[in-house]
Structure 1
Amino acid sequence: MIARTLPRPRPALWPFIPILAGFVLVAVFAPLIAPHDPDAQNLLGRLKAPGTTARDTFYLLGSDELGRDLLSRIVHGARISLAVAIASVVASGIIGTALGMVAALRGGWTGTIIMRVVDIVLSIPPILLAIITVAVLGPGIVNVVVVLALTRWPRYARVAYGQTLSVVTMPYLRIARFTGAGPVRLLWRHVLPNIIGPIIVVATLEFGLMVLFEAGLSFLGLGVQPPTPSWGSILSTGRNYVSTAWWIATFPGLCLFLLVLSVNVIGDTLRDRVDRGSD
Structure 2
Amino acid sequence: MAASFISRMAPPRLRIFYAILAIFVVVALFAPWIAPENPNSQNLLGRLKPPGSDVRGITYWIGSDELGRDLLSRVIYGARVSLMVAVLSVVGSGLVGTSLGMIAGYYRGVTGTVIMRLVDIVLSVPAILLAIITVAIMGPGLVNVVIVLAFTRWPRYARVAYGQTLGLMSLPYVRLSQTMGAAGPWVIRRHILPNIIGPIMVVVTLEIGLMVLFEAGLSFLGLGVQPPTPSWGAILSSGRNYMTTAWWIAIFPGLCLFTLILSVNVLGDHVRDMVEKRR
Structure 2 length normalisation: TM-score?
Answer: 0.95
Q: Please list the CA deviations of residues 3-29 of structure 1 after superposition, one character each: whole Å capped at 9, or x if unmatched.
A: xxxxxxx99211100000000000000
CA contact (8 A) 1:11 1:265 kept: no
In the alignment, which residue of structure 2 is the partner of 1:240? 241
Secondary structure of the equivalent of 1:216? Answer: helix
Aligned residues: 269
Superposed counterparts of 1:102-181, under 5 Å: 102-181=103-182
In the alignment, which residue of structure 2 is the partner of 1:73? 74
Q: Please list the CA deviations of residues 93-137 of structure 1 after superposition, one character each: whole Å capped at 9, or x if unmatched.
A: 000000000001011111011111111111111000000000000
Deviation at 1:277, TM superposition (A): 2.1
Moved over 6 A (4+): none
Secondary structure of the equivalent of 2:255? Answer: helix
Deviation at 1:276, TM superposition (A): 2.4
Letter in 1 for 2:171: M
| Whole-Å separation in 1 of the counterparts to 2:108 and 2:12 | 41
Q: Mind listing any 5+ residue stretches in structure 1 that lack a counterpart?
A: 1-9
Letter in 1 for 2:26: L
In the alignment, which residue of structure 1 is the partner of 2:98? 97
Q: Please list the CA deviations of residues 193-243 of structure 1 after superposition, one character each: whole Å capped at 9, or x if unmatched.
A: 000000000000000000000000000000000000000000000000000
Q: Please list the CA deviations of residues 176-199 of structure 1 after superposition, one character each: whole Å capped at 9, or x if unmatched.
A: 223332111111111000000000
In the alignment, which residue of structure 1 is the partner of 2:253? 252
Q: Mind listing any 5+ residue stretches in structure 2 that lack a counterpart?
A: 1-10
CA contact (8 A) 1:219 1:233 kept: yes
2:214 paired with 1:213: yes
| Whole-Å separation in 2 of the counterparts to 1:132 and 1:11 | 43
| Whole-Å separation in 1 of the counterparts to 2:247 and 2:216 | 19
Q: Please list the CA deviations of residues 43-102 of structure 1 after superposition, one character each: whole Å capped at 9, or x if unmatched.
A: 000000000101111000100000000000000010000000000000000000000000
Secondary structure of the equivalent of 1:12? Answer: helix
Secondary structure of the equivalent of 2:59? Answer: strand
Letter in 2 for 1:173: V
Q: Please list the CA deviations of residues 138-185 of structure 1 after superposition, one character each: whole Å capped at 9, or x if unmatched.
A: 000110000000000000000000000011111111222233321111
Secondary structure of the equivalent of 1:194? Answer: helix
Secondary structure of the equivalent of 2:228? Answer: coil
| Whole-Å separation in 2 of the counterparts to 1:268 and 1:22 | 19
Secondary structure of the equivalent of 1:41? Answer: coil
CA RMSD for the aligned pairs? 1.1
| Whole-Å separation in 2 of the counterparts to 1:67 and 1:239 | 16
- Taking only the aligned residue pairs, the percentage that are identical comes to 68
Structure 1 length normalisation: TM-score?
Answer: 0.95
Secondary structure of the equivalent of 1:229? Answer: coil
